[in-house]
A and B are shown apart, each in its own frame.
Chain A
Amino acid sequence: MGERYRTYQEVNERIRERKAVVLTAEEYLSLVDEKGVSAAAERVDVVTTGTFAPMCSSGAFVNFGHSDPPIKMTRVSLNDVPAYAGLAAVDAYIGATEVSESRGLEYGGAHVIEDLVARRPVHLKATAYGTDCYPRREFEGDLYLDDLNQAFLFNPRNCYQNYAAATNSSNRTIYTYMGILLPRCGNVTYSTSGQLSPLFKDPLYRTVGIGTRVFLGGGQGYVAWEGTQHNPGQARDDAGVPLGPSGTLSLIGDLKGMNTGFLRACVFEAYGVSLFVGIGVAVPVLDSDLASSLAIRDHQIFTSVFDYSVPSRSRPALRRVSYAELRSGRVELEGKTVRTAPLSSYHKARQITGALKDWILQGRFFLSEPVANLPLEGTVKALDPKEVS
């Protein structure tokens, strides 16, 4: 931890008194350039981080309320997108990547979530087998977000700590969740906000754990758990920054407090539907170790360019690149200069760091110490059939 500067209690007291010094991740980097890490650490209480990227593993729980006579919904669709209703009578989960039964890949669960958040009407169809206590067998009608008892985003895997960059060495264009990849390594895409991204700035999850309050989709949410495929055992550099996909977060938050500025449905051509999720984490500058990791910038963060034309979970890595190179718009690959493009909006990520900073300065957002830490060990298992005796 090195030298200690402040505690959560002290930070929150300063927020309450409107005396907290809060900088966005970029402002903090500028201050470090000017004064050095120690001076920045002494002066700054909180640094805000952010990301805005497609995150497929997202969805929302909804409770519709009871009709009269009541129904135990068995099959549920919202705007023709199936929702999972294998729960209590009028609870359902709408997954972001579920696609419409009438409109195919152009409309899916993410669009239903966006429509709800935008206060557009959503058409509910439900059927049931009927019971003595729930005799009704059908329900159909329009509803709005504010008609629902609860509607909360519960995303099993968001906020990836680093991610692969993608290219395509084959002779045909391929359509992937990393966008359209042109033949013969015609382009490279990547998807993180690099030096603004939450888990790069606290790479060992010291201040981001279960219960941490976060900016989520324009509202406030919480870290619920480690995300699925949480992979803290990924290879790391000397500063602890992972060199490939690593930690993930499971996030929860009230849909009613979110807005479409920071939660947007999206479609990847010939792949499917996903959801752009805006996430911001406020990192307290508790000690010199955090002060240093908050100073990490794009040229110190690396990932690998993988060949997505190889249809295997072990795709070949063509080379390692820094985010500074990726962000320059060009990388050298297989002996030629290749155009790079982000899928994650740095512009929105920057807006999120600014919005979160404003919330804290206005005393509308307080920091929460993790109730429990995320695992720092463990790796991701593969799916292989097991011998059953």
Chain B
Amino acid sequence: MSKTRIILDFQADSTEKPITCQLVRDYGLSVNILRAKIEPDQAGRLLMEVEAPRDALEKALDFLAEEGIGVRFMEKELRVDKEACVNCGACTAVCGSGALVIGAPEWELVFNAERCVACELCVEACPVRVISVNF
């Protein structure tokens, strides 16, 4: 069992289908929706944390592909340009999930991707503009 954050991109014609329900019921995924933007008849997007055995997750991903739903893994989405970062820590002020932390002894910014919920507050909190999120 491992926790993974995935972003699902729906075409307008898919938003009527109970996709999340099927992921839970038919593929046994434990799903926690972190962010959602779905309007009827429009393309939509879901960020979810899923917990499942590896083979169940792979089957679920195959199902999503068949349904024409784009899947991206969250870890790849938030980017901190460590070279340009000044390690001030301003972003950690707004990071409620604990994905961005700074402290003793190194006082260098640490990004724990698995904790990120892509709330994007850090993007505007970063004074040197080195954090970007694609969601």
Contacts and interface: CB of A to CB of B under 8 A. Distances in A.
B121 interface: yes
Nearest to A269: B124
A345 B88 contact: yes
Contacts of A342: 88-90, 102
Contacts of B107: 345-347, 350
Interface stretch (B6-14, B50-58, B125-133): B125-133
B127 A276 contact: yes
A341 B127 contact: no
Contact of A345 (B86, B93, B124): B86
Contacts, number: 78
B93 A187 contact: yes
Interface string A267-282: 1110000101000000
A274 B87 CA distance: 16
A346 B94 CA distance: 19
Interface residues of A, number: 31
Given A180-B93, A339-B93, A345 B87 contact: yes
A180 B128 contact: no
B90 A341 contact: yes
Interface residues of B, number: 23
Interface of B: 86-94, 96, 101-104, 106-108, 121, 124-125, 127-129
24 contacts: A179-B90, A179-B93, A179-B94, A179-B125, A179-B127, A180-B94, A181-B93, A186-B96, A187-B93, A189-B93, A269-B125, A276-B88, A327-B103, A339-B93, A339-B96, A341-B102, A342-B88, A342-B90, A345-B87, A345-B89, A345-B107, A347-B86, A347-B107, A350-B107
Interface of A: 52-54, 106, 179-182, 186-187, 189, 264-269, 274, 276, 327, 329, 339, 341-348, 350
